[in-house]
Structure 1
């Protein structure tokens, strides 16, 4: 059977339980996933940092890491050519592209330093999301926005303000809002004597940042928590409770990273609660293993549950991005696997009889709900996914990996 024939057969199977596969594919095509640039070069960037720091690590030394803006853009192009659907890209401030002989420290960054990224995005009809980079810098060795040193705090306040201006530039040039997410590595290795003072300094810093006049309809400022990092195992200043309350009080977004919570917490359970109190919520989908995130997104239980909550809560209310950086495998393959898995999870959610399942729950028909939930797991999702790939010019099934292998031999292996 051809891909189309398998799809038509699957379409009838789903129709029997009240699911319109054509509508599901149209919806999926219009759900953007923001692909993070930092998977391509192990979060090194181009502003001279040279090494990753701030309580995070990219482990492995697989050959072919992108070392220049041109190489990174080429690698992102290669990955995007193998992923169906609509996309965005997600940049860190450390990926500024300077002209020869030019350089600016992070507090002096300007829109012009990202002009090449705008050119790249325009040519490919991509939106851009953005992140201030408050790590991998000499002034981030101890603390940033919560630092006891006024000069250090001011440097990072000015950096984030500059990033808001750059985010406005992205939104204006590309005609789509930019999500600008703030994450800081501030915290303590051992039990602190005073948790309040550093959090008060962080609050003051954020207040100063948000005091600038900016277009809130084009820049969605978000804050991202983390339970701990290397060197800050006992306390992170920017905890979930701090940021959730700060975001609510100041009408900005709270970003949930699925690798930034205690191992028994799941982000899928938080989304519905957040959407009752926030107009939108931002997500970084990743895969935590033991102590942190940063692993390639799989088509696993939690990814599928996150996707269900996105679809049921309203995909237009969830700003969806991925966040992992695995240097132990082919970096382009990592992007493609993660992005395609996120899309498969969204498709899986779109192909569920969600109305029927909610009705069963409301009527407390839990036996039938369990039965239906389990039976849907073996419905022909793969046949619908293959058709989506084919219709959107992306390779079907594992055929994409042949292109990754070719690119590795022809391009990646030749890099120093």
Structure 2
């Protein structure tokens, strides 16, 4: 796209931002990068570059005295990027979008406790609905395995409390099938996900994927940042961005990762990456196996249907050859585009120029990618809050 010249307010913010990125020290009055006459000239180049953004600002800045020195003192991960003092505070809204309860309160939440472990959380009216089925039981007060403090909790009905996982799965399947007919459960997938107290632990039962948010059970998925290296691009990287199919049952038309999916069927995160890479983007198995696990993000909040979601996403980076182009395969994605990081940042900040935003949980994984690759300066306001907010819930 053609370069954008920011409005006057944005220009002022970027002028301020350049002083911090360029290493201005308020306490000593010195600039950390360069020495002698060079710093002032180099700083001027940095001002112009951040005021106008890349590539326009880069072209103008290069014509200024001392420009080469200014550019060489910036980390390669930040050169050419439009980052200013309010960038990170604006990005914090991505954290809030996944970690809010809407108009609900913590007091409205009832834990689902099985064999002494809390495996899910539901709102009070959902707890009453599930208890009326005879599959679950709603108890008052404090009991073994319930969360600290007083209040109700949901558990399996007495005749299922000691039953094997397979029997519980059958009972829950009958319940969710009925709720599907009533329109309570929508977007049926015919795909089971495990319900367990921790990742990798034996499941206490399995449930249809479309129904697991109804039970507020922990969900586990994989998200892959597909990227390429390009020294001429802002920050030296470009990121593949998918546009979800407008026929998707959830978040139609929003931006997404090159590969993402729920972990199910007893697969490991790595196996899920390989499976989803071929199905969604036509990435060959040999290339998909090059994806590297980089950690996780987690969040807890209400989804678009007002249900409580408590999810953990395993993050992967997959460096792709510059001549490789992913292809939509299974119809879940309409298209793939290779974006520079300025465009990615603008979308995360809420710039409507680039159309639909990222799917909320995808934004968290992209932020994690930008942090790990040194794109966002640690010295900027809100950095620690942003990093800690990406892992908002404890996982095990």
User: TM-score over 0.5 for the alignment?
Assistant: no
Structure with the higher fraction of residues in helix conformation? 1
**Which one has a bigger Cα radius of gyration?**
2
TM-score, normalising length: structure 1:
0.29
Larger RCO of the pair (alpha carbons < 8 Å, separation 6+): 1
Which has the larger share of strand? 2
> How high is the TM-score relative to the length of structure 2?
0.30
